[in-house]
Chain A
Amino acid sequence: MTKELEHSFVAQLEENQNIVHKICRLYTNDGEAHNDLFQEITIQLWKAYPKFRGDSKFSTWMYRVALNTAITLYRKSKRRVQTQDYEGVSFKITAEAYDDTVEEQLKLMYKAVKNLNDIDKALVFLYLEDKSYREIAETLGISEVNARVKMNRIKDKLRKILNP
């Protein structure tokens, strides 16, 4: 039983690991911290997994646990020197034709999102992942209206950064 549980969990995590990686990259500043946070999120997901009933999608459930871990539970190691060595995010280009300005803007926006506070970051992240406002509101524990209002304010802020 435990083995079975382990297998299905690892398989699903392997398949959806990009979600966790994206959160790690948004909330940490270097590769070592990234791995640390990934490890902690994995433990928290695994601990909560027996209670995962499958009435929501694995990925939906994952967003919540991973964000909770990144924002609340994860303890940054104080000894680590703050480095910015992965400021420059690279996006793999899959389409043959691509626009330089879009690429530049993506990077710019990424940088802007990284500088938001922990909560706003979660909001923008879920928005970029195309989550509904209802889902965003539920994940954060605020009302849908407030999530919308807050998101609109952040959008304005981001637009200003993209078009100085």
Chain B
Amino acid sequence: MDELEVLKREWQTRDQEFPKLSSREIYPMLLRKSSSLVKWIFYISIAELVLWTSLAFVAPESSKQINEAMGLKTTLLVVSIIGYVITFIFIYLFYKNYRSIKVTDSIKNLMGNILRTRKTVRYFVFYNIGAAILLLTFTNIYYYSKKETLYATFAKYSEDYAAIPPESFTTVFFTAQIIVGVLLVVLLVIFYRLVYGILLRRLKRNYKELKKIEV
């Protein structure tokens, strides 16, 4: 007989030394909280969905007045309605994928479902960043085409801006917009690399390993 078969038989017949837990010791274990990966992913995903959805509400009052003065009110209203519809679609997809995670599934399906759930949230974040970039670009182009009105409006609402001479206002304003925009995107990318990388490194590696078997 093959020696591996001998070992297999030995593996089954010999007892390995393990602590033997009594039912008295097992009962309290049922009450403890799980600290599984899925739980972490769930909390982080919910936090992301809430964060990005709530960002829309924190726009200061003055920026609303400025947009109104610049004639962007209707456009922005339409944009935000579309935004809410898309957000709801994402939340629905996230919920659907999350529900499909089952510990009794095969190893491959379980991993696939977790990755899909995470991906939904990741696309949601990408969508938000993309939409923010597009929105900023277009409003800034629009602002640029109406420089004079812009300066007049800003000078009216903010004393800081009123202190800047009209000649340099355009340069100061748009440079500031660009710097803040780039900084924000860089911070977000770093943040996602960290959270996503740490949490899913092992899962991704194992999923790849499983896929390799199937080739």
Contact = CB atoms under 8 A, between A and B. Distances in A.
Nearest to B33: A43
B108 interface: yes
Contact of A142 (B3, B103, B105, B214): B214
Interface in A49-105: 51-52, 61, 64-65, 67-69, 71-75, 89-95, 102, 105
Contact of A129 (B12, B20, B209, B213): B12
Interface stretch (B22-30, B75-83, B143-151): B22-30
A21 B203 CA distance: 22
B188 interface: no
Most buried by B among A18, A25, A73, A128: A73
Interface residues of B, number: 50
B190 to A, nearest CB: 19
Interface residue range, chain A: 35 or more
Given A65-B103, A68-B110, A102-B10, 9 more contacts: A11-B23, A51-B104, A52-B104, A72-B203, A91-B14, A117-B205, A117-B209, A120-B209, A141-B106
A69 B19 CA distance: 20
Contacts of B33: 43
A61 B104 contact: yes
B36 A74 contact: yes
Contacts of A158: 4
A48 B103 contact: yes
B34 interface: yes
B15 interface: yes
Interface of A: 6, 9-11, 13-14, 17-18, 21-22, 25, 38-40, 42-44, 46-48, 51-52, 61, 64-65, 67-69, 71-75, 89-95, 102, 105-106, 109, 117-120, 122, 127-130, 138-143, 146-147, 149-150, 155, 158-159, 162-163
Interface in B201-215: 202-203, 205-206, 209-210, 213-214
B6 interface: yes
Contacts of A75: 35-37, 40
B99 interface: no
Contacts of A129: 11-12
Contact of B16 (A42, A72, A90, A147): A90
Contact of B7 (A71, A109, A143, A150): A109
B21 interface: yes
Contacts, number: 170
A18 B18 CA distance: 7
A13 B29 CA distance: 12
B29 A118 contact: no
A119 B108 CA distance: 10
B38 A73 contact: yes
B114 interface: yes
A139 B105 CA distance: 8
| Residue from the set A42, A147, A155 with the largest chain B CB neighbour count within 10 Å | A42
Interface string B172-215: 00000000000000000000000000000011011001100110
Contact of B12 (A43, A89, A130): A130
* 4 A-B pairs with the lowest CB-CB distances in the bound complex, closest first: A141-B108, A141-B106, A73-B36, A21-B18
B36 A69 contact: yes
23 contacts: A21-B18, A39-B29, A40-B35, A40-B36, A44-B103, A47-B103, A64-B104, A72-B110, A72-B203, A73-B37, A74-B37, A92-B16, A93-B14, A94-B13, A94-B14, A94-B15, A106-B10, A118-B209, A127-B8, A128-B11, A129-B11, A141-B109, A162-B3
